[in-house]
Amino acid sequence: MTMPVRQAISPVEARGFDTQELRRNFLIESIFTPGRIGLTYSHLDRTIVGGAMPLAGEIVLATEKQVGSDPFLKRREMGVFNIGGAGEVVIDGEAMIAESTDCIYVPAGTGDVRFRSRSSDDPAKFYLVSTPAHTAHPVRRITAEDANRLDLGAQSDANRRILRQYIHPDICETCQLVMGMTVIEDGSVWNTMPCHTHDRRTEFYLYFDMASQTRVFHFMGEPDETRHLVVANEQAILSPGWSIHCGAGTGRYAFIWSMAGDNQDFNDMDFVAMEDLR
């Protein structure tokens, strides 16, 4: 397992970044490596994000120096979202089925976590998000049917989308982690527009379910100093609380969002008027 570190970046610094610096600091270009776990440690709310893609054998979640404790989840909780073939997440010896679009909540204090694919020809792709936690809550498997469904946007604005809240206070008790999935409907391109910031929470996006030539133009930066990143399939964005986060795709796409910070209030957003965007 590898775990590079991303430092927190201030808006003043980000104003001077060129494209390569923006990508180096805010984009994770490779999430899934066959047969391995790859994680990135971000100083944005000390969130760890990455992926596990088991093939014929199982992969064990091991700790790293950056975590500062052993086992990995001694003082952390984790959301595990499968976007690949069927698999299992083994939590302290108990195997939990994880079909595609299932999410598993793994609590603080868990000693041993392993990942398996049902078939190496159609391997599971487990997207992992871990945040600091102060207490343990029950393990949960959450399916798309279990999640809160919100139908948002309008075709006239090209932003019809289905948002599902998986790890959310109404569904699954956690310390601070919130996690869900948004699918852009056919014929729409925009997500999260009008855009917003939420200075009390960090957000991470994993864009997926995209054709090889599809790209999402992810907009970031302060409202009056916007920038953009061109994002391919199964790449992730780190979004500081001071930054807007919205996007438009050249074709079909979906994304998994996660948040951590001072609260779990999904509606705690500071909306940005269209006339204030620059």
196 carries a ligand binding annotation: yes
pLDDT of residue 140: 96
Reported pTM = 0.95
pLDDT of residue 1: 64
Cis peptide bond prior to 194, omega within 30° of 0: yes
Cβ of 198: how many Cβ atoms within 10 Å? 23
Tally of domains within the chain: 1
User: Tens digits of per-residue pLDDT, 212-230?
Assistant: 999 999 999 999 999 999 9
In which domain, by residue range, is 79 found?
5-276
pLDDT of residue 167: 97
134 carries a ligand binding annotation: no
The pLDDT mean for the chain works out to: 94
Closest CA to 235 of 248, 216, 251: 216
Q: How far is residue 129's CA from residue 264's CA, in Å, rounded to a whole number?
A: 15
Residue found by looking up tokens 């609590």 in the block: 107
- The confidence band for 2, taking pLDDT boundaries of 50, 70 and 90, is low
245 carries a ligand binding annotation: yes
- Single-letter amino acid code for the residue at 33: T
Contact 72, 62 (CB under 8 A): yes
User: Tens digits of per-residue pLDDT, 233-251?
Assistant: 999 999 999 999 999 999 9
pLDDT of residue 126: 98
DSSP state of 176: S
Contact 190, 247 (CB under 8 A): yes
Q: Residue 125's domain is classified under what CATH number?
A: 2.60.120.10
Q: How far is residue 120's CA from residue 105's CA, in Å, rounded to a whole number?
A: 24
203 carries a ligand binding annotation: yes
User: Tens digits of per-residue pLDDT, 77-96?
Assistant: 999 999 999 999 999 999 99
Region 242-267: what's the mean pLDDT? 90
